[in-house]
Amino acid sequence: MEHRLFPDGTPGPVVALANPSEPLFPDPVPCHQNSEFLYVGDLHEYKGVFLLAEAARCAGVKMRFVGSGLDLAKLKVDFPEHRFDGWQDRTGLERAMAKARMLVAPTLGPEPFGLAPVEALLCGVPVLASDSLLISRDICAQEMGESFAAGDRDALVAALAGLSADDDWVAQMASNAKTGARHISLSSQAWCDALLSLYRDILQSPSTTRGTERLRAPVAT
């Protein structure tokens, strides 16, 4: 994110802290036994939901959308074969996640962090994300999911079709997510501790970033 925060190339005193998130379940989801792909979030064109709905149709996979937004009504009309749950509370989200094979994050524009993908990973559900989601590179590096070029329908179709048929690979990614998810997200307590430690360092030495290296993580808040 530093090139976006400092477009003129002048570096600033940036310390990256992974955002906090908590798993929805105490035990991982047996996702390789499921057939349904899941989207969670705002239903708006910018998020790539039309691209995803069309790609899922072409790939012949089951798609479940959880969330509300400006384009919900049009999506329902244009893609009646998909399931649209609307906005859900935590219980509803848990029901959907328990049935998920993978979570898909097809955003068309840059996003530094996605709560739904991280929550899925913490549940042992792999993630298929566009490369506009900046944590997609970390997800792929940990082999917790796959990535595709943002806006590339054909690439998304191919990924959905392949992942719908490869139970072993989905199970392997799910296994990797059990431990790898914490590399891109902190627990609530760890996040609070890291913030307090950072503030303490700033107060003790306001002109330096002494002691902040240990707080660095691959995701910016």
Pair (196, 177) in one structural domain: no
Beta bridge mates, 147: 129
Burial class (CB in 10 A: 0-12, 13-18, 19+), 106: buried
217 band by pLDDT with thresholds 50, 70 and 90: very low
DSSP 32: G
Share of the chain residues as helix, strand and coil, in percent rounded to the nearest 5: 45, 15, 40
pLDDT for res 187: 76
DSSP conformation class of 186: B
Clarify whether residues 125 and 203 are in a common domain.
no
Identify whether residues 40 and 129 lie together within a single domain.
Answer: yes
In sequence order, what are the residues at sequence separation of 6 or more whose Cβ sits closer than 8 angstroms to the Cβ of residue 133?
A: 105, 107, 111, 114, 117
CB atoms under 10 Å from CB of 59, counted, come to 18
Range of the domain at 192: 186-221
- In angstroms, the CA 136 to CA 3 distance is 17
Query: The domain that contains 111 carries what CATH number?
Result: 3.40.50.2000
Instruction: Examine the domain organization and report whether 106 and 158 are in the same domain.
Output: yes
Looking at the structure, tell me whether residues 39 and 103 fall in a common domain: yes
Q: What number is the average pLDDT over the span 21-46?
A: 92
Q: What is the pTM of this model?
A: 0.81
Number of folded domains that form the chain? 2
**Residue 207 and residue 165 share a domain:** no
- Cα–Cα dist 201/208, whole Å: 9
Tell me, yes or no, whether 193 and 120 share the same domain: no
Q: Is residue 151 over pLDDT 50?
A: yes
Residues 53 and 143 in one domain: yes
Q: Is residue 213 part of a domain?
A: yes
Lowest mean pLDDT: which of 5-14, 47-56, 94-103? 5-14
- Quick: pLDDT tens for 41-79: 999 999 999 999 999 999 999 999 999 999 999 999 999
User: What is the rounded average pLDDT for all residues in the chain?
Assistant: 88
Q: Is residue 3 part of a domain?
A: no
